[in-house]
Structures are given as C-alpha cells and as structure tokens.
C-alpha cells in the first residue's frame, strides 16, 4: 500500500499591525488608527519542501508578515480590500503559490480627541479573502457580539426524558455572544464594504432585540433570514450562538426575594447553537469556506 502526501498549506498567524493615518480629512493634527490582526495561509506547489527538504520554492512566513507591513504603508482601508491586495500579491507574484487565504480581524478604537483614542469594548469585525489566481471569494463577519435580553424570551414545550430537570419558562433572561460570517455573492473593485458591514451588523442586532424568542434556534434562523432579506448581495450566513446562562441566586437566607434581579453569569458549561441560512439560488461557495 502506497503513501501519498495530501493537501497542505502554511502561513503566518496573527500578525498584529496598527496603521496611523496622519492629518485625516485634511485637518492638521487630526489622526486616525486602524488596528488589525492578519493571518496568511498559502497553498501550492510545496511538495519538494515536504518530501525532500528543498526550500527553493518556499516563501518564508517572515516574508508574509513583512509584506503585510509594507502593504500597510499605502493605507489599509477596508479590511476586505486590504486582504484582496495581499492575496493577489502572493498568488500573482510567486510562481509556487496557487491559492492565498487572508484572514483579518479589526479591533475598534473610539476617538477621544484629535490624536487620542480609547480601546472600544465592541465586537470584532472579521474578513476572510481567498484567491486562486482566477477567482476571489470574500466572507465578512463579526465575532464577540454580546447581546442580552432581560425579558421577552421563552423556552417551553420541549422534549423531556428521564434526565430532564430543566423547568419550562414563559419569560427569562437570554444572553449570547454571536459569531457570524456572511458570504458575498460577487466581489467587485470599489465595493462598499463598510456600508455592507454596518447593514449586516445592524440587521443582526435589530432582529435579536425585537424578536419574541421561543428558542436560540429560532433566533438564529430569524437573524440569518432577516440578514439575507436586508442584504441582497449576500449568498449565505453562518451563525454560532452560545446560550450564556445567567442563573438565579437564592437570596432567601438573607430574608430577601429575588425576582430575577440578581443573577450569576455562568461561563460553562453552555449550550451552543450553530446553523447556516442560504439562498436557494446562491452560487456555489467554491473555496470560500475551506
């Protein structure tokens, strides 16, 4: 029986990078910052390196990091555009590279004055760009989106077996930490990524805040369905939603009632719901999710 070397890839993981833009909007002394994490992943003709130790076709991962730094000199802009520029550079400039995947995270800072900022506790914006020399795919997203309902959520009429202890409820607190990724139908130069991101994140938040929840599964599907309705250029959305429990604390030993006012946020174990909502006529994802 023979042995064959299979799929492989390599890259530089979590390159931290801050770009300061000086005198933005033509205002002297007014600066802006872009804080991102970049991960590069290259695939291609690297058999000789693995099988024979021949590194002549292998670009060092340190060069991946340096390329990201050098590309940032001309500005980052929207992270999807930055990822496209990097991916195209690796594939179009290096013969042994057949596919590049660039994963990006953007970390938000809120402006205090013209040149001072405070790190925001907001969610993290994400993007994954894949390019194979002919086609480019873009998956944008969001993670660490913390959402909380203090009322308006139910969970009842569920299946019960001999081990079921959970009681039914017609009103409960409900919290989650959303990770969502949405695949774009087509990529065109000049695409307004910032507006698309705001529309998508606003849709997710608005749906969560207004739905009368029967279960996390129902919320997940409704958020995905509404997002696709709101953003016609998206092909599908994938959602990862833990159910972050906030447990009742018994205050009766202190002679106090607790009407779900004082809660204990339990970090584990937790329920986890995941799902994909997609259009029936969505184009095939290709390498977008690989």
Kindly provide the b/e burial profile for residues 246-267, where b requires at least 16 CB atoms within 10 angstroms of the residue's own CB.
beeeeeeeeeeeeeeeeeeeee
How far is residue 132's CA from residue 288's CA, in Å, rounded to a whole number? 11
Instruction: Say yes or no: domain 1-134 is CATH 3.40.50.2020.
Output: no
Find the length of the chain.
Answer: 290
- CA distances in angstroms from 64 to 119, 160, 287, listed in the order given: 27, 53, 21
Mean pLDDT of 218-243: 97
Write the DSSP symbol of residue 96. T
The separation between CA 198 and the C-alpha centre of its own chain, rounded to angstroms, equals: 13
How far is residue 189's CA from residue 187's CA, in Å, rounded to a whole number? 7
Dmax (CA) of the chain: 76
Whole-structure pTM value: 0.92
Helix, strand, coil percentages in the chain from 3-state DSSP, rounded to 5: 25, 35, 40
* Homologous superfamily of the 144-290 domain (CATH): Urate Oxidase; (3.10.270.10)
Main-chain dihedrals φ then ψ at residue 82, nearest 5 degrees: -60, -45
Is there a common fold for 1-134 and 144-290? Answer: yes
pLDDT above 90 for 215:
yes
Specify the higher pLDDT residue, 186 or 145: 145
How far is residue 55's CA from residue 48's CA, in Å, rounded to a whole number? 7
pLDDT above 80 for 21:
yes
Residues 128-173 pLDDT 10s: 999 999 999 999 999 999 999 998 899 999 999 999 999 998 988 9
Domain ranges of the chain: 1-134, 144-290
pLDDT of residue 276: 97
Select from 198, 188, 204, 205 the least CA-distant residue to 238.
204
Q: Which residues are catalytic?
A: 12, 61, 245
């Amino acid at each position: 029986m023979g042995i064959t070397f299979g799929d492989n890839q390599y890259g530089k993981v979590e390159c931290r990078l801050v770009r300061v833009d000086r005198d933005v909007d033509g205002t002297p002394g007014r600066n802006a910052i872009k804080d991102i994490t970049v991960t590069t992943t290259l695939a291609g003709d690297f058999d000789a390196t693995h099988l024979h130790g021949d590194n002549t076709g292998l670009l060092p991962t340190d060069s991946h990091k340096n390329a990201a730094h050098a590309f940032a000199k001309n500005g980052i802009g929207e992270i999807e555009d930055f990822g496209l520029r990097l991916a195209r550079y690796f594939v179009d400039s290096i013969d042994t590279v057949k596919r590049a995947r660039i994963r990006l995270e953007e970390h938000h800072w809120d402006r205090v004055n013209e040149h001072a900022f405070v790190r925001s506790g907001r969610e993290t914006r994400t993007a994954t760009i894949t390019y194979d020399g002919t086609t480019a795919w873009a998956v944008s997203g969001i993670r660490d989106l913390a959402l909380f309902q203090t009322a308006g959520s139910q969970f009842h009429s569920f299946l019960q077996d001999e081990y079921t202890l959970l009681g039914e409820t017609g009103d409960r607190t409900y919290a989650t930490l959303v990770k969502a990724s949405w695949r774009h139908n087509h990529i065109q130069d000049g695409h307004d990524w910032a507006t698309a991101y705001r529309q998508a994140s606003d849709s997710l938040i608005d749906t969560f805040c207004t739905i009368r929840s029967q279960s996390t599964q129902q919320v997940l599907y409704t958020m995905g369905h509404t997002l696709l309705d709101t953003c016609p250029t998206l092909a599908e959305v994938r959602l990862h939603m833990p159910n972050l429990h906030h447990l009742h604390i018994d205050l009766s030993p202190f002679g106090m009632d607790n009407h779900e006012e004082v809660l204990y946020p339990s970090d584990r174990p937790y329920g986890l719901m995941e799902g994909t909502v997609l259009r029936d006529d969505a184009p095939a994802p290709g390498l977008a999710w690989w």
